[in-house]
């Protein structure tokens, strides 16, 4: 996710550093089992991974930024993402063209599925399945009607833009003449899997894909390096397992409609609707709620009473790295109580 600059260009969010990311309870330092210098103690603290509440807060701040964006900004970013994700269909087809049929070939050409996701995520474009978790976290943290309405607005705009962009990419592949006969045949072969399963099976597969994408968002919030490898690994698993992704699959489904293999009604009933439901269940109901459950007690323990909160309490949505602690994170000066 990313914020907007003064001229509407997206700029990466400056995540809080490990030392200033948010206030932590002031408990007694843990006694070391060996003698360490102050510099070594600092190195140990820097090497320790983010705590789960920190990851939650990073995603919440990113999500709040996205909720505040204009409809037009969301639309154009989502449209570009739909076009970019088309390379998750074209690249496997390009690899398949030069590989023998069957056997180990899918292990190789399915790696190409990751290309579109790498483009979308590293260039910080708006992808619906990624926004499923990013947009819902602020609503879970502050269940205000305004946040809920803004979340539904973001989902609707980004999903529509993704579908339009993915469909336009399919139109380009089919009508532009950019593909020779062999490559067009490979694109068709790659695309046929989206309608091979029954709707309920497709929905179940989409739940797995939604869970993996939500996991990817959570992981990327806590690391500074190795982002490319994590994106490739998680999305490669989606392709290798034959799991369904609503945006990438739209490119394939639209191509099948254009070449006359299936009708729009068949695509909507057999792929789009069950995949959309499955992605949302996997990303929201399963992963997000499970992730929230592990930190729920810790976050709720630090909330201030409603009558003590200022109207503008919290992080400035245009300056998420500012040194203002979130109202969802404990402000106590003593140790945070742990649930038994």
- Contact between 7 and 312 under an 8 Å Cβ cutoff? The reply is no
pLDDT at 35: 74
Per-residue model confidence as pLDDT tens digits over 224-249: 778 999 999 999 999 999 999 999 99
pLDDT at 162: 97
Residue 120 located in a structural domain:
yes
Report how far residue 110's alpha carbon sits from residue 128's, in angstroms, rounded to the nearest whole number.
22
Report how far residue 6's alpha carbon sits from residue 133's, in angstroms, rounded to the nearest whole number.
27
Q: Which two tokens stand for residue 22?
A: 């948010």
Residue 13 has pLDDT above 80, yes or no: no
Report how far residue 209's alpha carbon sits from residue 133's, in angstroms, rounded to the nearest whole number.
13
pLDDT level of residue 219 (50, 70, 90 thresholds): confident
| Overall average pLDDT of the 170-195 stretch | 94
Residue 217 located in a structural domain:
yes
Which one is predicted more confidently, 264 or 308? 264
Q: Which two tokens stand for residue 168?
A: 């336009």
Residue 227 located in a structural domain:
yes
The percentage of residues in the chain with a pLDDT greater than 70, rounded to a whole number, is: 73
Contacts (Cβ under 8 Å, ≥6 apart) of 309: 327
Provide the residue range defining the domain that includes 66.
52-299
Residue 28 located in a structural domain:
no
Per-residue model confidence as pLDDT tens digits over 15-69: 444 444 444 444 445 565 667 777 766 766 666 666 777 777 888 888 888 888 9
Residue 210 has pLDDT above 50, yes or no: yes
Which one is predicted more confidently, 175 or 51? 175
Residue 182 located in a structural domain:
yes
| Overall average pLDDT of the 293-319 stretch | 48
CATH code at 227? 1.20.1080.10
**Over the Cα atoms of the chain, what is R_g?**
22
Specify the number of domains making up the chain: 1
Nearest to 23 by CA among 47, 57, 65: 57
DSSP for 276-318, please give it: HHHHHIIIIIIIIHHHHHTTHHHHHTTPPPGGG--TT-S--TT
- Contact between 230 and 305 under an 8 Å Cβ cutoff? The reply is no
Report how far residue 18's alpha carbon sits from residue 15's, in angstroms, rounded to the nearest whole number.
9
Per-residue model confidence as pLDDT tens digits over 72-130: 999 999 999 999 999 999 999 999 999 988 789 999 999 999 999 999 999 989 999 88
pLDDT at 142: 78
Grouping H, G, I as helix, E, B as strand and the rest as coil, residue 329 is coil
Provide the whole-model pTM: 0.74
Residue 269 located in a structural domain:
yes
Residue 316 has pLDDT above 80, yes or no: no
């Amino acid at each position: 996710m990313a914020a907007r600059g003064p001229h509407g260009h997206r700029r990466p969010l400056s995540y809080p550093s490990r030392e200033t990311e948010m206030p932590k309870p002031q408990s007694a330092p843990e006694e070391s089992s060996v003698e360490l210098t102050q510099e070594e103690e600092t190195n140990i603290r820097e090497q320790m991974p983010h705590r789960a509440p920190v990851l939650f807060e990073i995603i919440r701040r990113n999500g709040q930024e996205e909720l505040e964006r204009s409809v037009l900004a969301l639309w154009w970013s989502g449209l570009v993402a739909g076009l970019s994700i088309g390379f998750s269909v074209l690249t496997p087809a390009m690899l398949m063209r030069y590989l023998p049929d069957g056997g180990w070939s899918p292990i190789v050409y399915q790696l190409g599925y990751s290309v579109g996701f790498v483009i979308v995520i590293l260039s910080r474009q708006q992808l619906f399945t990624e926004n499923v978790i990013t947009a819902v976290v602020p609503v879970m943290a502050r269940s205000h009607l305004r946040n809920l309405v803004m979340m539904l607005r973001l989902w609707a705009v980004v999903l529509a833009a993704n579908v339009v962009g993915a469909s336009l990419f399919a139109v380009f592949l089919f009508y532009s003449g950019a593909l020779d006969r062999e490559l067009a045949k490979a694109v068709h072969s790659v695309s046929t899997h989206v309608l091979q399963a029954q709707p309920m099976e497709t929905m179940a597969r989409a739940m797995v894909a939604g869970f993996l994408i939500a996991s990817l968002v959570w992981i990327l919030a806590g690391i500074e390096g190795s982002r490319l490898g994590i994106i490739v690994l998680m999305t490669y698993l989606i392709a290798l397992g034959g799991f369904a992704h609503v945006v990438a699959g739209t490119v394939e489904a639209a191509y099948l409609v254009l070449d006359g293999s299936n009708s729009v009604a068949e695509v909507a009933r057999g792929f789009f609707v069950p995949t959309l439901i499955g992605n949302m269940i996997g990303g929201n109901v399963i992963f997000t709620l499970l992730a929230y459950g592990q930190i729920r007690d810790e976050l709720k323990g630090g909330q201030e009473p409603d009558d003590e909160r200022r109207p503008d309490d919290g992080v400035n949505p245009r300056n998420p790295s500012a040194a203002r602690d979130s109202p969802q994170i404990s402000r106590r000066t003593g140790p945070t109580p742990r649930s038994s």
